[in-house]
Structure 1
């Protein structure tokens, strides 16, 4: 789902980390070291890398750069915008040559993977408390390993609940569920009274984590999800699948959710505010019976939302200036401007509370934007921060097929997957 959302907003980052230590060599383009020669201070040039922002956001990014340079004499920004197909090979080559950019836009899983390789600056020890203070706590936690923080939250796509009011009423409810416990209690009645599913879950790892079940131990050396709470949750969901009131296939499939929603076969979608846009474009007949509210929360009181951040590679020779620029880009003013150009939400407390997000309460899209702004505070982006993160996550997500489709015993599957994850972590 992260990938789908990122494509929709033209933001994604494909990042393959190869051997990258804490090199102190200069980043690409940083030939000027800021020293003073002949009484004249040399210009510091920072490399800033983004992906596929041109031409849609060219003026926006250039405007930020112009403002920053005018307020920070002696610092120049070299912006490199790479096409999707070129990002992997170019970035890998630069990292291998200890020439990573000074500031790079990266998503959570890859950010934590880099941090685990000691390739990123720990902002908790290098940035000031004042620089880190504006950001929402739930989002900064997504960029942390232990006490270290390795990225400035840039923008987030928080989920909201988009639901069919007619189906909710037909099922005998006044409102849609607000959390997983309510969802599981209401799903059977929804199916019996309307023939529609109430909800499609996300991927298994997200389901577990949002319901307060840790994926890995604190030291990240072993699996932590094989718990009585996990067994109880998976057993209840499997019961729903076996009895037909929970979907057996297509979990986390946004396209399938939109299709079924348009056919009055799904009552609730808890994903980004772009869901409303898709319904308006792809299922216009459903708009009049669609409403929005806060996202469906797990029992931990959080919901998954895709986060993009700005990281500072250790290879940067101008870390102080890079942090200054990253926090400038991700500051209230420019985050708010960004939110007015794209379907994203700010990551700071002040910008996310701006009246812009609640100024339109008449239209469905305006209501969706307002709910998304509020949901920013309860959003998380699951990143494990381990070398084989994709393999670990894929293994955990594979429990869905084993339990729900292959009809295997949940405890047996939990045991087997725990052993596989522990082996990957060795």
Structure 2
């Protein structure tokens, strides 16, 4: 009996020592984390990376940081701005070497690559339901991979068609009735070419735009689980046939295939193109071609039978490597709140992802003296409810994009029929998706 009591007493003593030690360690850890040697509260430092915002937006970003630090004296923000061409490589290197920053501005494509590596904080878990509701639904849902939302949306854009009303009038078309669909764009292009010798539509096929056009025309890119191509359908074939016909009948400039979006703006500013999706170029047009700007009238994005319109998103991510997840997410939410986003959007032609900011008259009321820049902004904001990220984050995205571009190029150049080119694209996609 005595041995049993002695054993219980020893167990109790060992347990008390262990608990006491843990409490002591926790107390030391809390003291180390929160106070310096003089008993003052220590600052948590958050490393924040942006993509090519200096020097244009230095004052704005520094102002947001100062406001946040004033509200959160225990958190310091260390801001680093990285050239756009270097950011992807720099963040990947940082993640690989376990030196990732705490908060980073990334586009959906590259953010999804990090999400594939399970390198980003799951915002479905890190952000409250109340805060999630503060963002445009389509923007929040645009960045999901395998049912995980891995970003907080920052600023947005939608496509707005810019129309040169002078060319419309020269061709006998009503500038108040711009092309709204692909079929109208083709019809207008034929009339404008015949009446003026100029091009009507300039649909750039640069970057991911081929994929976007296909989705707007009703094609599904992959099956539901993203394991097989799903675009070899009547809708996918229609997209290939549409652009092949426009190209081979010289209804769109050759640069639509061989060039990039800079060719589009150059030809529009020169008065050689009647309409194109180029709302983000409106300030450039105002500066470089004031006469063209004067005759520019914005209209909603050209769409297909689906009625879909595209949304582009810039995001804020928090790498999992951070030792300060709570503080990092707190700063990301502050940076993207309605007040800060509204101030940002008044400095540059972008749209906020915060619902409250979009309710401001700046995005809803044109005013009597509204210029094309104002009308572009209001038109863009007005179609956000029906806009979405048409090409969701996908693994091996660059390879998929290039395979589709190569295939449609062969059709447009007459090296294959549209159906043969579509078959080739399907085969290439299935091989890439099987990796």
TM-score by length of 2: 0.82
Verify the 8 A CA contact 1:112 1:384 in the aligned structure 2.
Answer: no
Task: Describe how 1:282-321 pairs up with structure 2 within 5 A.
Answer: 282-321=288-327
Verify the 8 A CA contact 1:187 1:245 in the aligned structure 2.
Answer: yes
Per the TM alignment, residue 34 of structure 1 is displaced from its structure 2 partner at its CA by 8.5
Verify the 8 A CA contact 1:347 1:376 in the aligned structure 2.
Answer: no
Verify the 8 A CA contact 2:164 2:275 in the aligned structure 1.
Answer: yes
SS of the residue 1:217 aligns to: coil
The reply on whether 1:176 has 2:184 as its aligned counterpart is no
For 2:419, the equivalent position in structure 1 comes to 411
Structure 2 residue runs without a partner (length 5+): 1-28
For 2:158, the equivalent position in structure 1 comes to 158
Which of the pair is proportionally richer in helix? 2
Per the TM alignment, residue 62 of structure 1 is displaced from its structure 2 partner at its CA by 1.6
**Alpha carbons of structure 1 residues 384 and 355: separation in structure 2 relative to 1, 3 Å:** closer
The CA deviation string for residues 80-132 of structure 1, in whole angstroms up to 9 with x for no partner, is 22345654554333211222111100011101121122111221122111111
**Alpha carbons of structure 1 residues 401 and 249: separation in structure 2 relative to 1, 3 Å:** farther
For 2:69, the equivalent position in structure 1 comes to 69
Larger radius of gyration, structure 1 or 2?
2
CA distance in 1, matches of 2:253, 2:152: 37
The reply on whether 1:402 has 2:410 as its aligned counterpart is yes
SS of the residue 1:423 aligns to: helix
The reply on whether 1:342 has 2:348 as its aligned counterpart is yes
CA distance in 2, matches of 1:125, 1:67: 26
CA distance in 2, matches of 1:285, 1:418: 45
Q: RMSD of the alignment, in Å?
A: 2.7
Task: Describe how 1:23-422 pairs up with structure 2 within 5 A.
Answer: 35-36=33-34, 42-84=42-84, 87=87, 90-174=90-174, 175-203=177-205, 204-251=210-257, 253-272=260-279, 274-357=280-363, 358-362=365-369, 363-422=371-430
TM-score by length of 1: 0.84
**Alpha carbons of structure 1 residues 412 and 178: separation in structure 2 relative to 1, 3 Å:** same
CA distance in 1, matches of 2:180, 2:49: 39
**Alpha carbons of structure 1 residues 33 and 307: separation in structure 2 relative to 1, 3 Å:** farther
Runs of 4+ with deviation above 6 angstroms? 31-34, 37-40
* Structure 1, 295-304 or 328-337: larger mean CA deviation: 295-304
CA distance in 1, matches of 2:254, 2:431: 29
Per the TM alignment, residue 361 of structure 1 is displaced from its structure 2 partner at its CA by 4.8
**Alpha carbons of structure 1 residues 290 and 32: separation in structure 2 relative to 1, 3 Å:** farther
For 1:21, the equivalent position in structure 2 comes to none
**Alpha carbons of structure 1 residues 405 and 33: separation in structure 2 relative to 1, 3 Å:** farther
Verify the 8 A CA contact 2:204 2:261 in the aligned structure 1.
Answer: no
Verify the 8 A CA contact 2:143 2:392 in the aligned structure 1.
Answer: no
CA distance in 1, matches of 2:191, 2:137: 37
**Alpha carbons of structure 1 residues 332 and 50: separation in structure 2 relative to 1, 3 Å:** same
**Alpha carbons of structure 1 residues 167 and 96: separation in structure 2 relative to 1, 3 Å:** same
SS of the residue 1:230 aligns to: helix
CA distance in 2, matches of 1:257, 1:212: 25
